[in-house]
């Protein structure tokens, strides 16, 4: 693998700006040998390194992060730790095994995170109180009915919500109907990923601002970084949409860029307009709809743009133009709060496959890859990190079988056809979004 440039996006905007700065770990500048190397310190890489450290308590585990912790997707998502995924189109009896498998993966990740948070007293605004799924338009209202039917047939705990009930709980009249899935948690994503990184076992060596520039696979894998090299018996790639750049496996995942805005802290009079729930998270039942949160520290966040931007974050000019879309969606939902200004504006890149699946595989005897979560990486990424560590170690766990049984990601064409196709598919995500945007 060759990384032809050393241009890794970094911007201190969004969730990271809301919390106390963290001192990053040092860059790797010496030559080292290790039995285990994990590349990428997001949810998957952190989970994988932690699990490898447990399985190999006397071995050194090396974890490399190209940026600083929290600057990749793990610190830029909207903070939804889902237990049950929403599958568009309603319940299909012949997909029951698939539904159950995804639930097991999500819930393994959720259970692992909760255990780590409690054991290490990680302050990340963790709230295990369920997740709202909302419909504002005709298309998504039909999807809501199908989702309720799915939940009923799966016997998943939920509460159906009328427009009046939504107004009472959340303080907005914008949505026509909705459903609250009782299992699932909300977090402040930057706080969580900071806490996970700073509570790693003693035998994990984390290096930040250390991108992999070149990787030569073999009996011993050799990795070049800007100021060092690593020789590793085993390598696990956990870098989502950035794996194997310019390599034959690259064209199974693309990076889609999303953007969002976060308000200032609301005063008590403003909070009182927002219903009975002290904090909450809304996912749209339209795939292109807005993700909206009232956070524990009384801010409102809204994310409702997604586009293909060549796997990159948006620049300042692009961000400012997208905030016009955020503002309109905010004003639609909370007209009494239209005077509240946005304090933070950010973008993030999620890994997406053509058939909305994930990637979990062994590429050779000592080289593994796990990633690409199509926007649901907190719980699933954590579970995949556990599973890929077990798989590489040789453990025959049920979780490993579940991850190996996931539908394989479809091959994607090379550039420039890739660029055109990714742009078109992302645009289609908003087809018929209407009031849900």
Residue extents of the structural domains in the chain: 128-186+254-354+428-436
Cut 0.85: pTM above it = yes
Which strand (E) or helix (H) includes residue 265?
A: none
Q: What is the pLDDT of residue 385?
A: 98
CA 213, 369, 107, 162 dihedral sign is positive
Cβ atoms within 10 Å of 204's Cβ, excluding its own: 19
User: Under CATH, which number does the domain 128-186+254-354+428-436 receive?
Assistant: 3.30.9.10
Would you place residue 245 in the very low, low, confident or very high pLDDT band (cuts 50, 70, 90)? Answer: very low
pLDDT category at 10 given cuts 50, 70, 90 is low
Give me the pLDDT at residue 12, please.
66
Burial of 399 (0-12, 13-18, 19+ CB in 10 A): buried
pLDDT value at position 9?
60
> What average pLDDT does the structure give for the chain?
93
pLDDT for res 102: 97
Residue 3 has pLDDT above 60, yes or no: no
Mean pLDDT on 181-188: 98
- Kindly tell me if the per-residue pLDDT of 257 is higher than 60: yes
Beta pairing partners, 177: 135, 162
Strand locations in 43-170 (E): 61-64, 80-82, 131-135, 158-162
Burial of 402 (0-12, 13-18, 19+ CB in 10 A): buried
Using 50, 70 and 90 to split pLDDT, how confident is the model at 289? very high
Please tell me the distance from the alpha carbon of residue 267 to that of residue 265, in angstroms, as a whole number.
Answer: 7
Q: What is the largest CA-CA distance in the chain?
A: 64
Per-residue pLDDT tens for 298-344?
999 999 999 999 889 999 999 999 999 999 999 999 999 999 999 99
Q: Cα-flanking dihedrals φ and ψ of residue 169, to 5°? A: -85, -40
**Would you tell me how many other CB atoms lie within 10 Å of the CB of residue 73?**
27
Query: So what's the pLDDT on residue 424?
Result: 86
Residue 194: predicted pLDDT:
98
Convert 405-414 to b/e letters by CB count within 10 Å (16 or more is b): ebeebeebee
Across the strands, what pairs with 135? 177
Q: What is the mean pLDDT of residues 158-185?
A: 98
Tokens standing for residue 324 = 């016009």
Cα 306 off chain centre by: 14
**If pLDDT is split at 50, 70 and 90, which confidence band does 11 have?**
low
Work out whether the CA dihedral 209, 213, 215, 220 comes out positive or negative: negative
Phi-psi bin for 385: left (phi > 0), alpha (psi -120 to 50), beta?
A: alpha
Q: What angle do CA 244, 42, 386 make, to 5 degrees?
A: 90
Q: What is the DSSP letter of 88?
A: T
């Amino acid at each position: 693998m060759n990384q032809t440039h050393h241009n890794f996006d970094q911007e201190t905007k969004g969730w990271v700006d809301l919390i106390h700065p963290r001192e990053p770990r040092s860059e790797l500048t010496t030559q080292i040998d290790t039995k285990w190397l994990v590349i990428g310190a997001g949810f998957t890489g952190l989970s994988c390194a932690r699990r490898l450290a447990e399985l190999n308590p006397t071995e050194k585990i090396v974890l490399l992060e190209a940026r600083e912790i929290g600057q990749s997707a793990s610190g830029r998502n909207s903070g939804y730790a889902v237990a049950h995924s929403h599958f568009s189109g309603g319940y299909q009896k012949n997909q029951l095994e698939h539904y159950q498998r995804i639930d097991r993966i999500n819930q393994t990740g959720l259970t692992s995170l909760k255990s780590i948070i409690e054991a290490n007293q990680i302050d990340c605004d963790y709230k295990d109180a369920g997740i709202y799924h909302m419909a504002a338009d005709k298309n998504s209202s039909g999807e809501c009915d199908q989702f309720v039917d799915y939940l009923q047939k799966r016997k998943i705990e939920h509460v159906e919500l009328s427009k009046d009930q939504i107004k009472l709980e959340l303080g907005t009249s914008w949505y026509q109907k909705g459903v609250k899935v009782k299992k699932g948690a909300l977090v402040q994503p930057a706080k969580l990923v900071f806490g996970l990184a700073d509570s790693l076992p003693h035998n994990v060596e984390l290096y930040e601002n250390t991108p992999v520039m070149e990787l030569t696979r073999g009996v011993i894998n050799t990795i070049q970084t800007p100021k060092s090299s690593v020789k590793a018996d085993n390598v696990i790639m956990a870098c989502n949409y950035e794996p194997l750049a310019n390599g034959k496996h690259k064209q199974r995942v693309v990076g889609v860029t999303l953007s969002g805005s976060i308000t200032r802290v609301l005063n008590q009079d403003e909070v009182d307009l927002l219903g009975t729930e002290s904090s909450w998270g809304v996912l749209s039942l339209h795939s292109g709809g807005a993700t909206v949160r009232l956070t524990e520290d009384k801010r409102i966040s809204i994310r409702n743009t997604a586009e293909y931007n060549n796997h990159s974050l948006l620049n300042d000019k692009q961000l400012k133009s997208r905030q016009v879309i955020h503002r309109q969606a905010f004003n639609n939902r909370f007209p009494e709060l239209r005077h509240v200004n946005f304090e933070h504006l950010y973008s993030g890149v999620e890994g997406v496959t053509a058939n909305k699946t994930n990637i979990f595989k062994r590429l050779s005897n000592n080289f593994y890859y796990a990633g690409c979560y199509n926007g649901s990486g907190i719980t699933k990424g954590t579970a995949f990190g556990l599973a890929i560590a077990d798989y590489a170690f040789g453990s025959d766990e049920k979780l490993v079988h579940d991850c190996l049984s996931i539908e394989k990601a479809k091959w994607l064409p090379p550039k420039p056809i890739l660029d055109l196709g990714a742009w078109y598919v992302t645009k289609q995500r908003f087809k018929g979004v209407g009031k849900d945007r």
